[in-house]
């Protein structure tokens, strides 16, 4: 059964004392409580279900804010990517988690576990460890604290050009 209460403009489902605009509550000891949003249309490419956020009093559902969207990327299987967008003047995708687990930042087609595409700098705060066969082409590593920042490469690394300055150790 569903209990619906309105208190001070708040709506509660499963609670008579809603604490926010929409408060969903279900006791499920040791289990999972799920909010289910379903675009029940047939499995069609680019069908989506989403949650949108806006903080501008004049924002509409098509302008301003941010969105998390489940996007159908294969009509035959219903495979779904999770897409993160925001509107900084235009609807812009920033990150995608593909149905196969690959994560893309700055790309809609991540081809590996983590794909980062940027025309600017990519910052790693701390040590960077790379393992497996690695190809560094057109890549530079700069450290503002060279005494505590390390680049570690395990296995095979192909480095096109290496410029080294300061206290540096290259070991076999």
CA 74 to chain centre: 20
Note every long-range contact of 39-44, with CB atoms under 8 Å and residues 24 or more positions apart, other chains counting. Answer: 43/72, 43/75, 43/76, 43/77, 43/78, 44/72, 44/75
DSSP states of 64-77 as a string?
A: SSEEEEEEEEETTT
Query: What does each of the 172 residues of the chain score in pLDDT, given as a tens digit?
Result: 556 666 678 888 888 888 888 888 888 888 888 888 888 887 789 999 998 887 765 655 556 688 899 999 998 888 999 999 987 666 789 999 999 999 999 999 998 898 888 877 777 766 667 666 666 666 666 655 555 556 666 666 666 666 666 666 666 5
Question: Scanning the structure block, which residue is given the tokens 């082409």?
Answer: 137
Q: Has this prediction a pTM greater than 0.75?
A: no
């Amino acid at each position: 059964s569903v209990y619906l209460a309105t208190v001070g403009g708040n709506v509660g489902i499963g609670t008579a004392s809603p604490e926010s605009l929409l408060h969903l509550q279900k006791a499920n000891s040791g289990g999972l409580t799920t909010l289910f949003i379903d675009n029940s249309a047939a499995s069609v490419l680019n069908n989506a279900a989403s949650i949108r956020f806006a903080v501008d009093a004049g924002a509409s559902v098509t302008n301003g804010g941010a969105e998390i969207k489940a996007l159908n990327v294969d009509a035959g299987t219903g495979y779904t990517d999770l897409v993160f967008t925001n509107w900084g003047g235009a609807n812009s995708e920033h990150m995608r988690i593909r149905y196969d687990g690959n994560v893309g930042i700055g790309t809609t087609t991540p081809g590996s576990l983590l794909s980062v595409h940027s025309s600017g700098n990519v910052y790693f705060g701390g040590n960077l460890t790379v393992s497996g066969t690695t190809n560094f082409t057109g890549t530079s590593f700069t450290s503002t604290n060279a005494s505590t920042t390390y680049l570690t490469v395990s296995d095979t690394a192909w480095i096109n050009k290496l410029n080294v300055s300061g206290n540096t150790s290259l070991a076999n």
